[in-house]
């Protein structure tokens, strides 16, 4: 147990009050004089207690070292709420601390349950029986929590040497973790994908079952390559995963049969092969265990095609499936994307009706990126509802939060949103102030060629004082499409 010495006295005071003990009772339990106890608990705090004295007092308070450590962690969390650090707003610090509390609670409950149930782990060397499926997945969720804090080499050592980590459900869970991480942290997604393949390679049981698990896990890496823009490599890798999958067998369809066609649909979208993307999404939808997820992805394909009304219908169809699935991140995506589509269709009142729920979901997830995008969305909605002052405040806040996070496409979108507002009001001089964040976008070089060309055209118009709200709006609409369709050309 490592505690800051300046917290010793506060921890003891809290534990005494928690147990409802008087100074007299503590003195009797500790064998100290009551004056000494009073001094220890209420004396000068500038002089920290010696650690030995602190430890000697714990038994008198019916406390073990873990009680002291938990109390100290709580006090440090309270301190963090009042600190101004890392550029976080008070609301963001609140969201972060609440998220950490939730994670700690889940980890504690999972770890306790693991200790109680570890002896009941299902058989790992055979094709799973129906009664063993959920226990195996439960075990995998716990193991993910235990693996996550470890460096990658220690994770590898664990799955290679500990038999209880070499099972199908952990390979499945790691593949899913990789897919979830791919939208935010590609390095993490790649690590989880490699670990999924490693675990899948250790799985025992019937040969057909082994091949199917390996195919399932092997699809995670190509998905990361797809997000990185390495589409040819992703295509090759996904083809290999499909061959393994098709050579294997899973008679009870324990693994999601819709996952590989779903991932292929995302790849075909990135390749601008939209009819194939839609076809593969529909194939996935016919067999998947998770129709909500597939429908949200199909809506994304339709949005990339500019079919906003159809995409909105798909997201509305997804609503009951997403709700039943219980995945809060997916629910956020479904709600956020619906609100954005409403804004594309200029249905801003409908978008506003969703935004508070979207914000609550982002806050509950403790995701700063999601919260920043909600700020941007609120600004966009305010602009559409004719509240330019409010819109500009929110969009400028989102702009600099995106810049801090090096989210350059989001920076570009925010710049164009603000420019459209200013140009409508005839404030052409103020539009010039938006060129520094645009310069950051150009310098970063993270946006593809056609999008950069459209932005440069707008920047030149600003410099020549010929920029109009109509031009800003055209570039903005193009950027929305080009974000998910990198082959789209901007027609000036």
pLDDT at 152: 86
pLDDT at 492: 66
Contacts of 236 (CB under 8 A, 6+ apart): 222
Q: What stretch(es) of the chain map to CATH 1.25.40?
A: 367-492
pLDDT at 117: 53
pLDDT at 1: 46
Question: pTM higher than 0.75, yes or no?
Answer: no
pLDDT at 304: 87
Helix-strand-coil split of the chain, %, nearest 5: 80, 0, 20
Per-residue pLDDT of the chain (492 residues; tens, 9 = 90+): 456 777 777 888 888 887 788 888 888 888 888 877 777 777 655 466 677 777 778 888 888 777 777 777 777 777 776 665 556 677 766 776 666 666 556 555 655 555 555 445 677 778 999 888 988 998 898 899 888 888 888 888 889 988 889 999 999 999 999 998 887 788 999 999 999 999 999 999 999 999 999 999 999 999 999 988 889 999 999 999 999 999 999 999 999 999 999 999 999 998 989 999 999 999 999 999 999 999 999 999 999 888 999 999 999 999 999 998 888 889 999 999 999 999 999 999 999 999 999 999 988 888 888 889 999 999 999 999 999 999 999 999 998 888 888 888 888 889 889 999 999 988 888 888 888 887 877 777 667 788 888 888 888 888 888 888 899 888 888 888 877 777 777 776
Q: Regarding the domain delimited by 5-82, which CATH topology (the fold level of the hierarchy) does it fall under?
A: 434 Repressor (Amino-terminal Domain) (1.10.260)
pLDDT at 268: 94
Q: What stretch(es) of the chain map to CATH 1.10.260?
A: 5-82
CATH assignment, 367-492 = 1.25.40
CA 53 to CA 250: how far, in whole Å? 62
pLDDT at 346: 94
Contact 416, 479 (CB under 8 A): yes
């Amino acid at each position: 147990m490592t505690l800051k010495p300046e917290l010793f006295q506060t921890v003891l005071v809290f534990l005494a009050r928690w147990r409802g003990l008087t100074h007299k009772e503590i003195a009797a339990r500790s064998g100290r004089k009551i004056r000494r106890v009073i001094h220890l608990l209420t004396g000068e705090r500038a002089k920290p207690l010696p650690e030995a004295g602190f430890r000697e007092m714990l038994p008198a308070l019916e406390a073990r070292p873990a009680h002291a450590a938990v109390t100290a962690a709580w006090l440090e969390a309270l301190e963090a709420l009042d600190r101004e650090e890392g550029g976080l707003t008070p609301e963001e610090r609140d969201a972060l601390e609440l998220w950490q509390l939730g994670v700690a609670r889940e980890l504690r409950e999972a770890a306790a349950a693991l200790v109680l149930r570890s002896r009941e782990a299902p058989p790992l060397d055979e094709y799973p029986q129906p009664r063993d499926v959920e226990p195996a997945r439960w075990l995998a969720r716990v193991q993910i929590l235990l693996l996550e804090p470890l460096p990658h080499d220690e994770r590898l050592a664990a799955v290679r040497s500990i038999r209880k980590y070499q099972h199908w459900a952990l390979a499945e869970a790691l593949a899913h973790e990789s897919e979830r991480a791919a939208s935010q942290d590609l390095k993490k997604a790649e690590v989880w994908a490699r670990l999924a393949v490693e675990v899948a390679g250790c799985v025992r049981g019937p040969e057909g079952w082994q091949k199917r698990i390996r195919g399932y896990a092997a699809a995670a890496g190509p998905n990361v390559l797809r997000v990185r823009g390495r589409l040819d490599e992703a295509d090759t890798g996904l083809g290999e995963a499909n061959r393994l999958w098709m050579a294997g067998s899973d008679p009870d369809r324990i693994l999601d049969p819709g996952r590989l066609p779903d991932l292929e649909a995302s790849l075909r979208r990135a390749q601008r092969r939209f009819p194939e993307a839609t076809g593969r999404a529909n194939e996935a939808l016919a067999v998947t265990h998770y129709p909500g997820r597939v429908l949200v992805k199909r809506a994304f394909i339709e949005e990339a095609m500019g079919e906003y009304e159809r995409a909105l219908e798909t997201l509305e169809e997804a609503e009951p499936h997403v709700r039943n699935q219980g995945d809060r991140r997916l629910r956020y995506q479904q709600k956020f994307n619906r609100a954005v589509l409403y804004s594309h269709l200029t249905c801003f009142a409908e978008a506003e009706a969703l935004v508070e729920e979207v914000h609550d979901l982002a806050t509950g997830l403790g995701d700063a990126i999601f919260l920043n995008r909600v700020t941007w969305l609120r600004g966009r909605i305010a602009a559409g509802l004719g509240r330019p002052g409010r819109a500009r405040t929110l969009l400028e806040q989102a702009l600099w939060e995106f810049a801090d996070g090096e989210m350059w496409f989001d920076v570009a979108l925010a710049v164009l949103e603000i420019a459209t507002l200013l140009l409508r009001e005839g404030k052409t001089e103020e539009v010039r102030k938006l060129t520094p964040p645009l310069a950051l976008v150009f310098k970063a070089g993270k946006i593809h060629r056609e999008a950069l060309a459209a932005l440069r055209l707008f920047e030149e118009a600003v410099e020549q004082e010929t920029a109009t709200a109509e031009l800003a709006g055209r570039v903005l609409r193009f950027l929305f499409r080009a974000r998910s369709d990198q082959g789209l050309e901007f027609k000036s």
